[in-house]
Chain A
């Protein structure tokens, strides 16, 4: 269990979840400035967290980040969807 990796992935999951939920709200409220501002903040922060994750661990999406010149590291395990790659949120039922 890699705590640093899990905590970054955990944070990224939370930020991406919020971004998607705010996006759904903005679909029907496209001029809500307050929510747009919050949405943009979250998107920006998620990008930073994603970059930190991929720099330290592995790509999360096969066609979003450049690979190292020597080896196409996307093919290394664990892949993002495998159960043992994921983590539990305290308080998860």
Chain B
């Protein structure tokens, strides 16, 4: 079974610092390997990389942007 390596929590999954890019230039920081999910979590999350797991979470209507 594959479980996320017990990687130090200070592992940042992308290259830093990001050089300031100029106007109208999009920039995607280069990915750095930190850890991967286990087998089941990977399939359920749709990625093996925790840093790429960004589900759209519906905002709670009656509380506007609390806990944003």
Contact = CB atoms under 8 A, between A and B. Distances in A.
A14 B36 CA distance: 13
Contact of B43 (A13, A25, A28, A41): A13
A14 B39 contact: yes
B51 to A, nearest CB: 11
Contacts of B48: 17-18, 21-22
B33 A25 contact: yes
Interface residues of B, number: 13
A21 B42 CA distance: 9
Contact of A38 (B2, B40, B43): B2
Contacts of B43: 13-14, 17-18, 89
A25 to B, nearest CB: 7
A13 to B, nearest CB: 7
A42 B40 CA distance: 13
B44 A92 contact: yes
Nearest to A14: B39
Interface of A: 11, 13-15, 17-18, 21-22, 25, 28-29, 32, 34-35, 38, 41-42, 89, 91-92
